[in-house]
Amino acid sequence: MEIKKLQGAIEAILFSSGDAVPLDRIAEALELDRNTAAKLMKSVMDAFNQSAKGIQIIQLENQYQMCSVDEYGETVRRTLDLRRNAPLSQAAMEVLAVIAYQQPVTKAFVEQVRGVDSSGVISNLCEKGLVEERGRLDLPGRPLLYGTTSNFLRCMNLSSLRDLPPLPQNNEEETEEELEAVENTMKA
């Protein structure tokens, strides 16, 4: 198949799917090796996303999806009569942060970090499709492990977990120096 037809086929696959499609599946459907499919996918994304269109192609780890541009989100919601989801609570954001940065984690780990029961929040995040069960830990009681989903990446506008902002460093030496500086100013 010529390149233009392959690019058109990729656009058709992404449009028809509605959900994120793994690169391996695209490569298989087009009978291409993974590297060739990745290069072709990048060229389709670059060409598609450069023009001022109402839809874009996004990458979610090793998957690709067509979706509306943020700028038109409210118009799409009104047209399709979609209710806007309520914003996440502070507790939900805290749980999401713990899971996103430390995954896979148990509910007990999340509760230890937060210092409060997080069962309801984790259940709510699972219902919203932002968090999913990722198996069980090989310990007594076999507690469930949780991790984030591709829906989490989409909602947070991330291509992969590597795009999460770095955690602030809590350097003990800096803290001691700050305490000494405060003590010195108090003595003066």
Number of residues assigned to the chain: 188
Residue 110, number of CB atoms within 10 A of its CB: 24
Chain segment 11-31, per-residue pLDDT in tens: 899 998 888 899 999 999 999
State the pLDDT at residue 166. 87
State the pLDDT at residue 104. 92
User: What is the mean predicted confidence (pLDDT) over 81-96?
Assistant: 79
**Is the pTM of the predicted complex or chain greater than 0.85?**
no
Task: Calculate the average pLDDT of the chain.
Answer: 84
Region of 117 please: left (phi>0), alpha (psi -120 to 50) or beta. beta
State the pLDDT at residue 85. 62
State the pLDDT at residue 182. 47
Chain segment 156-178, per-residue pLDDT in tens: 888 888 888 888 876 555 555 55
Q: How far is CA 48 from CA 21, 43, 45, 56, 66, in A?
A: 17, 8, 5, 7, 10
Chain segment 116-129, per-residue pLDDT in tens: 999 899 999 999 88
Residue 64, number of CB atoms within 10 A of its CB: 22
Q: Cβ distance 38 to 30 under 8 Å?
A: no
What are residue 132's DSSP bridge partners?
Answer: 147
Pick the more confident residue, 107 or 69.
Answer: 107
State the pLDDT at residue 9. 92
Domains detected in the chain: 3-74 (1.10.10.10), 90-163 (1.10.10.10)
